[in-house]
Amino acid sequence: MAKCDEGYLCSICGQDVENVTSSDLYLRFVIGQLDPELLHTSPEKHILCNPELAQFIVADDFKPVAVDGPFSKTQLDPAFVAVQEKLVTRGWNRLKEIHKFRDVSILEFPLPEVIEKLNSRKD
């Protein structure tokens, strides 16, 4: 099978990343942690295959993720955790919006403040 026919496979578990709502790559892009220039060359993985990021999603429809060790949010500064939870949860909610409206341009994926920052780089 040609690589382009395989879809997007998770670099951690090897399974198909079914849609944008389970994509770590697009979540990081939406919240500004991945430069758009690197989007097409970065490895894909499931959000749940990156528990260090997934632990910051706090939503009724997302099963909480716990991380052990020094990268657990229980070991991090509470102010940092609050900011990350707000940002990553907003990003995940944005992915759900994008999934519903399939005609959204990739340029419109990021959160508004990320788009603003990207646009200011062009000036």
**Which range marks the domain in which residue 86 is found?**
3-122
Q: What is the pTM of this model?
A: 0.89
**DSSP-assigned beta bridge partners for residue 46:** 23
Q: Which amino acid is at 83?
A: V
Taking only the tens place, the pLDDT of each residue in 7-43 is 689 999 999 999 899 999 999 999 999 998 898 899 9
- Residue 41 burial class via C-beta count within 10 angstroms: exposed 0-12, middle 13-18, buried 19 and up: exposed
Taking only the tens place, the pLDDT of each residue in 74-114 is 999 999 999 999 999 999 999 999 888 878 788 889 999 99
Residues in the chain, overall count: 123
The domain tally of the chain equals 1
